[in-house]
Structure 1
């Protein structure tokens, strides 16, 4: 089995159709994207009582999601360079093992009302699976699609945004199915762990890497349309010390912190803003709708960036995002009382949130070249880790403050969403400052990107 997982056993044979690789990437990302549907478990976990009647607080439950996202970024940063040598198949297998077993450990925590076990399972072990699974297809698809890097990263990452489309109804219906059991949440997580492991193994068995020297038939690299698109490569350690890396880190941090605040609280938020008008089942449907926008935004915005450019695309995200975050709280029952408008604005925001994730690898490829792009991408995802902590802390901290002071929860959301609007301004400024990478950072010995897999 170990030899089958080695990179050399996944090299495509002559005549292989590169369009068979995106389904392998999607099988991984659709599975690990389940984390975006975590909000459907929040209220059931808050209602879960210990033997002595103790309940968990909103902040305590919120940490589960935060730890998972933090571990995603940290594991991606730690193992990104290893992935370049090990290949995507081995990384995908490790991701499947961690993600599936994380559910099992978390299930034990739910059954025994032990929050530390849920943190360890869903957060730490599952989070490592998230990180490994997230970055494993990215550089592979960029190598298969050098003619359309934005399209490639959109194909690789859109599945992660669509994960809640499967995870939300699956989790909700399994909890209903196991309602008569002693531990419905635990039974749900055990079932999901098994199902997702099997689903991810499809990607493990079908992924392929291009052979050395491969290029799309008839493709000739064109002259760069922008000074930000470099034909040179930068080593991961060198890239880590450039201002461009840290500006992109801030850009990702701002976009993710704002969007994750909506996603992490999506189900309770729509129920709070439209109290008595939106049921838990309908709220789960809303999470699924956001998943569609998240998924579609990753593909559409990343593909659009191939023509519009990465920097202008992010300018759109931050400008339009500022306006929509300011407007969103006024769609609730105390103002416009329009559920469709709330869903539409939320969907637009989440499409740009997802689009930001899918566009950032191509932005990195433009600035630093394809050499070590997975490793650089992995380190950049520490911004996601930070956002996974900061975003929920902002949301849950403000909500807990309002609840503790016996204030209506609906009044907390304008404060939260206007803070997110402020983050858009910071992101806009950081993106405005991005410049081409200085020649002193380029690799002295240039490397043909098509040979990278073979030379490791």
Structure 2
């Protein structure tokens, strides 16, 4: 049983509640868990501390992403049923515990504890935290679901922009010999323990803030001036809902699984090799310049999550994914063939490629809402995120395997073109969900599961 203050019925908004308070609640969680993309700041320190290989340290991140998918799949229905406050609080407990157990592993030189802490416990917190505000935002913004989910998931993409410089400054504070401007600089184990404990405290405060201010709308609430009967602009937008269990039985779910897998795998390919790609293509670029390029890609990733997802409210979800995947395939092919002709061409292509990668993440909840309705969209989203976990493992394996065999980045890029083409075809095949899968939102058996 949940404590009273966490229960869904305790956070139903009163009349007059300002719905624009919900995005900051979502951002408080997503900016916190977005730290998972900032681990490169202390990667060299972890390698030195544990005398471990790049692969062994990279496995920490891989475990976290796999657990993100598994926990979002397993807990999606629980999150929908119990509401965002309980989910955000539970996410905070796991995410913060991950840092605490990870700090213990560093202090005692036990790498398996870092795997257990940051990888397993932190990964569970990632999965629950990632999906916790999604269905709530969609219910607060039925008139602009792409905008709503874009605002929240933009925070996840931007988490590294906050955590990277913060982590560097904290390590320099705890260890005067550490140089945050150098990717090869190594901090002391004590400084890394201090960093993990400090981040645990900061994220506990921010995520608790999000959990405290979040609210769900009353069942009969609608935005002022919004007419649901006028909101259906195409056959791709459903007026009925599908349960999470039945969604798995539809071809639409699995086609979108392929779409997300292909988009994410291609994006990870660029992110994994970003600094090396620009230095290999342009010998005049310094390590500091390469780091700036990685930062630029992070900004493009974050901005794409908001800009393209918001655009999908106007042009439609299926159409925007044609741009992400079809346009993305063209960009990857150009990147492989003419990208090194000019640094301006290189940067423009890379920025648009990563903006499509981010946009694909942010738009998928609204796409699910269009196809399956709002009843259990959070749970359906959680199940779909297993595609992210699969891509988080497959992307580096494909890329590194090709590089090990051939040493040619161009070949790897054309493999990504092929993946995006597969995703494009899968998206073309998406049709409205057959009415046989539709449920009544007034079904007593489902009552209370639409938080």
Q: Given the two structures, how large is their TM-score scaled by the length of structure 2?
A: 0.90
Question: Over residues 162-207 of structure 1, what are the superposed CA-to-partner deviations in whole Å (9 max), with x where a residue is unaligned?
Answer: 1111122122333333334631333322222221222212101111
Instruction: Name 1:359's counterpart in structure 2.
Output: 363
Using the TM superposition, give the Cα deviation of residue 325 of structure 1 relative to its aligned residue in structure 2, in angstroms: 1.8
Using the TM superposition, give the Cα deviation of residue 44 of structure 1 relative to its aligned residue in structure 2, in angstroms: 3.8
In the alignment, the residues of structure 1 paired with residue 99 and residue 379 of structure 2 have an alpha-carbon distance, to the nearest angstrom, of 27
Instruction: Name 2:181's counterpart in structure 1.
Output: none
Instruction: Name 1:196's counterpart in structure 2.
Output: 203
Using the TM superposition, give the Cα deviation of residue 455 of structure 1 relative to its aligned residue in structure 2, in angstroms: 7.4
Query: Against the structure 1 CA distance between its residues 354 and 366, is the aligned structure 2 distance closer, same or farther, given a 3 Å change threshold?
Result: same
Give ranges in structure 1 of 5+ residues lacking alignment: none
Instruction: Name 1:418's counterpart in structure 2.
Output: 414
Query: Against the structure 1 CA distance between its residues 269 and 44, is the aligned structure 2 distance closer, same or farther, given a 3 Å change threshold?
Result: farther
Matched, 1:390 2:394: yes
Aligned residues: 436
Question: Over residues 296-322 of structure 1, what are the superposed CA-to-partner deviations in whole Å (9 max), with x where a residue is unaligned?
Answer: 111111111111111111111112211
Deviates more, 1:193-202 or 1:258-267: 258-267
Is the contact between residue 169 and residue 285 of structure 1 (CA under 8 Å) also seen in structure 2?
Answer: no
Query: Against the structure 1 CA distance between its residues 201 and 269, is the aligned structure 2 distance closer, same or farther, given a 3 Å change threshold?
Result: farther
In the alignment, the residues of structure 1 paired with residue 155 and residue 415 of structure 2 have an alpha-carbon distance, to the nearest angstrom, of 29
Question: Over residues 272-328 of structure 1, what are the superposed CA-to-partner deviations in whole Å (9 max), with x where a residue is unaligned?
Answer: 55567322x544443332222122111111111111111111111112211222233
**What does residue range 141-152 of structure 1 map to in structure 2 within 5 Å?**
141-152=137-148
In the alignment, the residues of structure 1 paired with residue 141 and residue 442 of structure 2 have an alpha-carbon distance, to the nearest angstrom, of 17
Is the contact between residue 261 and residue 392 of structure 1 (CA under 8 Å) also seen in structure 2?
Answer: yes
Is the contact between residue 212 and residue 454 of structure 1 (CA under 8 Å) also seen in structure 2?
Answer: no
Query: Against the structure 1 CA distance between its residues 167 and 198, is the aligned structure 2 distance closer, same or farther, given a 3 Å change threshold?
Result: same
> Which one of the candidate residues 416, 421, 426 is aligned to 1:430?
426
Query: Against the structure 1 CA distance between its residues 212 and 78, is the aligned structure 2 distance closer, same or farther, given a 3 Å change threshold?
Result: same
Query: Against the structure 1 CA distance between its residues 357 and 258, is the aligned structure 2 distance closer, same or farther, given a 3 Å change threshold?
Result: same
Is the contact between residue 175 and residue 188 of structure 1 (CA under 8 Å) also seen in structure 2?
Answer: yes
Using the TM superposition, give the Cα deviation of residue 73 of structure 1 relative to its aligned residue in structure 2, in angstroms: 1.1
Is the contact between residue 252 and residue 357 of structure 1 (CA under 8 Å) also seen in structure 2?
Answer: yes
Is the contact between residue 82 and residue 449 of structure 2 (CA under 8 Å) also seen in structure 1?
Answer: no
Using the TM superposition, give the Cα deviation of residue 348 of structure 1 relative to its aligned residue in structure 2, in angstroms: 1.3
Instruction: Name 1:239's counterpart in structure 2.
Output: 247
Deviates more, 1:57-66 or 1:108-117: 108-117
Matched, 1:107 2:103: yes
Give ranges in structure 2 of 5+ residues lacking alignment: 178-186
Using the TM superposition, give the Cα deviation of residue 265 of structure 1 relative to its aligned residue in structure 2, in angstroms: 4.3
> Which one of the candidate residues 270, 286, 291 is aligned to 2:298?
291
Using the TM superposition, give the Cα deviation of residue 453 of structure 1 relative to its aligned residue in structure 2, in angstroms: 4.8
Is the contact between residue 76 and residue 131 of structure 2 (CA under 8 Å) also seen in structure 1?
Answer: yes
Query: Against the structure 1 CA distance between its residues 371 and 421, is the aligned structure 2 distance closer, same or farther, given a 3 Å change threshold?
Result: same
Is the contact between residue 66 and residue 392 of structure 1 (CA under 8 Å) also seen in structure 2?
Answer: no
Matched position secondary structure for 1:38: helix
Is the contact between residue 32 and residue 160 of structure 1 (CA under 8 Å) also seen in structure 2?
Answer: yes
